[in-house]
Amino acid sequence: MKFSANLGFLWTDRPLPDAIRAAKAAGFDAVECHWPYDTPTGDVVAALEDTGLAMLGLNTRRGDVAAGDNGLAALPDRTAEARAAIDEAIDYARAIGCRSVHVMAGFSDGTDAHDTFVANLTYACAKAAPHDITILIEPLNRYDAPGYFLSTTTQALGLMTEVDAPNLKLMFDCYHVQLMEGDLTHRITSLLPQIGHFQFASVPERGPPGAGEVNYDHIFRHIATLGYTAPLGAEYKSTAPTGETLDWLPAAKAR
């Protein structure tokens, strides 16, 4: 199997280009990130070319983090900011050869929020399509992100049906889905055609796989059995320096 290092959580003590090189040295097959915008695109491209790794995804900006923002696309009174963040993310992704953008919904609820999110996702998909970029949406669990607009895969599928764009896909983070819905094996099987990327972490600690209530040996084998061959995203909180948390990786890659 193949694995991607999420550099929003791993090697966060290093500048992004150095983190990319560390991921390659550790044996990862790809990388992904959260908010790379303070790093010049040329520096990221150089690191990707040096390592031969692909950058799989990045997020739209959260907004005013100090004021509590965690995304903008479902906030009815902030459409201009949300679309500026979408434009910025697509432009950055194009510059570094990244093939997907996660559009963050933010803290909101109700009909107006739903309609705003649908409109902004429709906008994002139309902007991304000419560049062969996939737009991702990700349900976040109510414990880590109480009040986040998107919290379940069922809700995500409804949005995807309404937007009806072929480049809108589900970010299936096993950590969030287990906390909100459980039944990972059957959900992965039924949702696979709609899934654009997988992420994982132990539950409930959100640490490396190998502890907690999810048997990732089983989950990884199941995903492989379904014929999914893209890298799976390691998005977990390091319990030690990142290099000391990778005991799971060699065996997982050998599956």
The catalytic site residues sit at 138, 235
Which residues pair with residue 234 across a beta bridge?
5, 200
| Per-residue CA distances from 20 to 8, 38, 123 (Å) | 11, 15, 31
What is the sign, positive or negative, of the torsion defined by CA atoms of 89, 90, 94, 99? Answer: positive
Query: How many Å apart are CA 16 and CA 118, to the nearest integer?
Result: 32
Query: How many Å apart are CA 97 and CA 124, to the nearest integer?
Result: 17
